Amino acid sequence: IVEPIDSKYKYSSSKAMVYMIYYLLDYIFGYLFILKYKAQNKIILFDRYYYDYMIQSTFENSPKLLKWIYKTMAPKPDLLIFLKAKPEMIYARKPELNIEEITKQQEKIQQVMIENFLYKKFIEVDSVSGIDQAYKHVENEIFKLKVNK
């Protein structure tokens, strides 16, 4: 049984700050290892990145200055892929958040990523039509990115 995460729970600003500083250092120092693979023109995939702190309700009390530091200091991916689906479908796949929180996070993702242009390239992939279609779309975008480098 999966217990849903309470979307009303928010970390205190000090707890959020400790988490964010720890992970910022992790992203910056971890990037030193990634540079070796980027130099070899290899593809590196992550399923999450620091932008999670911009959209998750638990981090709403994070100091704005720290979010700005993340935005300016954390290494940026070459391509950000947002796998989008209907909130009800996401909930059916993984009932970790309630539908209201899923909707809220999707709206925040679009606001933070699209309006602020935090990344070199951002694509939204409709995952409603199934994994095979989503995979092909992502594969094509990665191929285009590699060809254009």
Percentage of the chain beyond pLDDT 70 is 89
CA distances from 149 to 38, 39, 56, 127 (A): 12, 12, 33, 27
Determine the Cα–Cα distance for residues 32 and 6; give it in Å rounded to an integer: 35
77 closest CA partner among 123, 139, 127, 135: 123
- CA nearest to 113, candidates 77, 141, 87: 77
Confidence of residue 123 (pLDDT cuts 50, 70, 90): confident
Give the pLDDT confidence of 7-21 residue by residue, as tens digits. 567 888 888 888 888
pLDDT digits (tens, 9 = 90+) for 76-103: 788 888 889 999 999 998 898 899 999 9
- 58 touches 10 (CB < 8 A): yes
* Residue 9 contacts residue 58 (beta carbons within 8 Å): yes
Across all residues in the chain, what is the average pLDDT?
Answer: 83
Please give the Cα distance from 80 to 74 (Å, whole number).
14
